[in-house]
Homo-oligomer: A and B are copies of this chain.
């Protein structure tokens, strides 16, 4: 199977409509229709059931969609990382991605310690909204990531645990809720004038809701200070908090585990060194 066929199949499967898929792929409908038929003939299975309303996946088709997405991501990851492996000024580079604004103290310590290593390579840090790190690691935009359990999906990655923390609700100082002894997660989500902020989805759009649209931690702390939002965060965020903020314990919030994760088939010297440094600093290997 060629990646071209896989791309075509995924487009049709996602659109459930050959015409729209063709449009998305920038081609005409008939060749796409034919390509899908050829793929079905080569695989030896019907991938879609045709109806006058469009195309629906069969069981085999669902399998190919699930597996094919991962496979296509792997191919694109291989290409991206190869392109990035071109030695720039005699020195390779590693791309590390993390939640924007979070765990800044931990990351500063890690990067400083790694930079002091004799064989350290340059580390490019890419900060992105929560939940975007896993996909970046999977499709090769990053080589190594700081992830957070239980929020991020670690499946397919190797990982070392860096730290475990409880979560607290950060609210504007002086707000009535700041005097509460403790809250539940459900309560923290339904404070009338302090809606939880909204983070962008993978495609960059935002879910509906009353909360403000955000991209990083600086923005959210500013909004909390302005009395426009409340946010559930690991305790360590308190050190960045400063004036104008108060902290309320949340009784039933799960503890959050910060890990350093990497795709196992992608251990360049840079990634290995970075992980080794992290393990040395935080010493509690897992994977």
Q: CB within 8 Å of B: which residues of A?
A: 1-4, 6, 43-45, 47, 59-64, 66-72, 74-79, 81-83, 85-87, 92, 140, 154-156, 158, 263-266, 268, 287
> Copies per complex?
2
Contact in complex: B74, A87 (CB < 8 Å): no
If A43-B83, A156-B265 touch, whether A78 touches B64 (CB-CB below 8 Å) is: yes
If A66-B265, A70-B265, A265-B66 touch, whether A59 touches B87 (CB-CB below 8 Å) is: yes
If A78-B67, A92-B59 touch, whether A83 touches B45 (CB-CB below 8 Å) is: yes
Nearest Cβ on chain B to A261's Cβ, whole angstroms:
12
If A265-B69, A266-B67 touch, whether A6 touches B75 (CB-CB below 8 Å) is: yes
Once the chains are docked, how many angstroms separate the CA of A87 from the CA of B59? 8
- New A-B pairs, 18, CB < 8 Å, besides A44-B86, A64-B79: A1-B79, A6-B75, A6-B78, A45-B82, A45-B83, A47-B82, A59-B92, A60-B87, A63-B85, A63-B268, A64-B81, A67-B74, A67-B81, A68-B78, A74-B74, A75-B75, A154-B287, A155-B265
Q: Which residue of B lies closest to A70 (CB)?
A: B265
Contact in complex: B2, A155 (CB < 8 Å): no
30 contacts between A and B (CB under 8 A): A1-B78, A2-B3, A3-B3, A3-B75, A43-B79, A43-B82, A45-B82, A45-B83, A45-B85, A45-B86, A47-B82, A59-B86, A59-B92, A60-B85, A60-B87, A61-B82, A63-B78, A64-B79, A64-B82, A64-B85, A67-B78, A67-B81, A67-B140, A67-B266, A68-B82, A70-B78, A71-B71, A71-B75, A71-B78, A155-B264
